[in-house]
Structure 1
């Protein structure tokens, strides 16, 4: 017992050293590949449990295919600043997992009676358990761990993409996919089945369907899932009046993402707004096995049907004006003369830049919090080979302020700082629009406001 406690203490210390903070729009995480986001609200924060894509090579994984060896957990209290709490489960520390399988696919996590249960699929090293994936559980006292994996996977569950739902009466259900979508009741210990698995009927029979995620709202049970209607997955849903159906196919949540044949998601309310968490391949546009998680707002019609979500770069959350505003994650952009590109094509984790190619090209970024109005300077990282002039408009429904800035000619990135002179105090939530005033090309990496 003492050795066990010391081990848990050391894991807690190591997780603190792994903690890092990222401020992002879409994608939410830009320093590593992430996919299959399972988002949960614990306390006053959202926690995301994604899978972790890495690039396969000759000694790890299968070249050209999905490669995943561990799981991180991320948290945020404002949907903008995300903390990486480090690795919580890894393939070579789970007793039943084949340690070189690189098959730690889409997970989920729920809380019950003060314990956190992390469900994950992988390939077993014991061939007597049968072929294919099994689903295991790791248990923790905190949403960030340390998580202790169970010795064996859940008996009677064969497949991938576990999702757990706890109904209002306290009954827990587990959902997963293996050709079809399956469901079963869980015992109170959250580690064993309390009923035989059933195939959820009345779902599409043509094309792959996987990644089930079930939630309840106003007495309606929504079974949501990715489905390949043509060649690429789109997010669909079916509804029922109980967690096991029968379900009625109802609609599409999100259309196919060009260039990324998978999608995987979760849906939940946070501070009176519903959100869809999903993934695309923003940081790896040429290779869709290296994905990145995203979030956008989701709304319902009066009859309970879901309004289709259109993916955005701006995403959700409010950006503080004294942080780096990534204008390339725009909320609106002009139809001509404005585009985005990677800052460094050899290191895509450096993110993107906004390119304004001629006069009248512009991009808008909404929901920036200027606080109590004490910020006195605008700072920007930009470049323009031939030099240029830009205008920054800061506005709300009441007033608009304008800031003009010159960009010196050159091939190198420069930091330009402009004092906020001759304008009234800027405070509260504003929108920002940057426009090109000259018929030259200007590139903008980021901008921020300082005292």
Structure 2
């Protein structure tokens, strides 16, 4: 089964020839990404994820996580993402065991004009292939080039490094290895300044990993994935101090409804809004070791409690009406007559389509920025065997009709252009609905 995934993995590599990606959830659809560490540097969001690839005989452990390098992605608006390419790769790190394919969840932090990238991997001095260390690579820019330090951080054994710099300037390193651990960092950000402490006030039953610390209004939030049942959910604890003691507060995100075993996250504030970055196996629904990063808004209650985040496909941000609007990343979908499917199950990197079975089918996509200047036409990429009519309107069932598009019958995808009957300036929800009983598939919509 795994070998059958190779064609769409190769297709994903081909798509990397284009550096720009426009995405909702998942954010990146040109490769597998997981464990996103999101940081705001100089008014731009940078995401440092791990990079899942397919393990094959002689390359990693077949059927398990396999990661050889790291990319960094950035965005100014949380909608348009740029892949800045590989920043660290396993066989160019002096202390990492060659071809160990264990470049797991990383983090990055800025200090004194430098960018410090923390990552775990299997060291050369491990003879049985077990055990992880944490190293650092340093750069002058958030996109690199990053230069790995020759040795890992002394005294740190584990995975999932996370760095937090408190208001007083003291930096802390958090990581996991059975339990969650923390220690102060030296000002050089390369060495521990205190002995590691176990953060022991957390649940004792079930795996805990992936710590991520942040502070808000004097409350220190220690967030982490925890297997309370069968798969990981995101939980959090709070403290008046970066090192605890902590009080368990609750769940940030429930377990995956489709059984993806892992979740791993980061939480950051951007332009006065808090966001949760996390992952799921959207592009690999049958194999949960190939994940894809996601993004949704996060909110706090008046007492500082984190409101539980419900995952969405639409994600966040505005989509310009002149872009290809992937309505399959919907905000709402009719309970009858509408489903979502891969364009090509053999190559999920090509994306999804919306299938409208009959006149009961519709899909709504929120947050389309139509702008002020009047748009005059719309193009749909559609397919229908029998011929169909598709209606576009704004703001729900009673909103103004933008266009009614007649789609000729045919077995192949068609790009059909039609004039707009009306124009609504500003930002609106877009509704795409079938108006005839014949099935019709919609790939994307674009206005001009």
Range of TM-score over shorter length: over 0.9
- 1:111-149 residue CA offsets vs partner (Å, 9 max, x unmatched): 000000000000001238995000000000000000000
- 1:368-413 residue CA offsets vs partner (Å, 9 max, x unmatched): 1112223211001011111111111123999633311111112111
Task: Provide the residue aligned with 2:45 in structure 1.
Answer: 46
Q: Is 1:88 equivalent to 2:87 in the alignment?
A: yes
SS in 1 for 2:349: helix
Task: Provide the residue aligned with 1:12 in structure 2.
Answer: none
Task: Please give the TM-score of this superposition, normalised by the length of structure 2.
Answer: 0.94
Q: Is 1:434 equivalent to 2:432 in the alignment?
A: yes
Q: Distance in 1 between matches of 2:397 and 2:214?
A: 37
- Show the 5 A alignment for 1:68-147: 68-127=67-126, 131-147=130-146
Contact 1:396 1:430 (C-alpha < 8 Å) held by counterparts:
no
- 1:52-80 residue CA offsets vs partner (Å, 9 max, x unmatched): 00001112101000000000000000000
Stretches of structure 2 that go unaligned for 5 or more consecutive residues are: 1-15
Q: 1:304 to 1:170 in 2, by over 3 A?
A: same
Contact 1:36 1:264 (C-alpha < 8 Å) held by counterparts:
yes
Q: Distance in 1 between matches of 2:123 and 2:266?
A: 26
Contact 2:382 2:415 (C-alpha < 8 Å) held by counterparts:
yes
Q: Distance in 2 between matches of 1:444 and 1:397?
A: 19
Contact 1:319 1:367 (C-alpha < 8 Å) held by counterparts:
yes
Q: How many aligned positions are there?
A: 432
Task: Provide the residue aligned with 1:200 in structure 2.
Answer: 199
- What is the Cα deviation at residue 347 of structure 1? 0.9
Q: Distance in 2 between matches of 1:267 and 1:71?
A: 20
Q: Distance in 2 between matches of 1:397 and 1:289?
A: 40
Contact 2:364 2:396 (C-alpha < 8 Å) held by counterparts:
no
Stretches of structure 1 that go unaligned for 5 or more consecutive residues are: 1-16
Task: Provide the residue aligned with 1:445 in structure 2.
Answer: 443
Contact 1:69 1:103 (C-alpha < 8 Å) held by counterparts:
yes
Q: Distance in 2 between matches of 1:176 and 1:403?
A: 54
Task: Provide the residue aligned with 2:412 in structure 1.
Answer: 412
Q: Distance in 2 between matches of 1:232 and 1:127?
A: 29
Q: Distance in 2 between matches of 1:129 and 1:162?
A: 22
- What is the Cα deviation at residue 188 of structure 1? 0.2
Q: Distance in 1 between matches of 2:274 and 2:255?
A: 21
Contact 2:122 2:129 (C-alpha < 8 Å) held by counterparts:
no
Task: Please give the TM-score of this superposition, normalised by the length of structure 1.
Answer: 0.93
Contact 1:19 1:83 (C-alpha < 8 Å) held by counterparts:
no
- What is the Cα deviation at residue 346 of structure 1? 1.2
Q: Distance in 1 between matches of 2:313 and 2:49?
A: 19
- 1:3-40 residue CA offsets vs partner (Å, 9 max, x unmatched): xxxxxxxxxxxxxx977110000000001000000000
Q: Distance in 2 between matches of 1:370 and 1:337?
A: 27
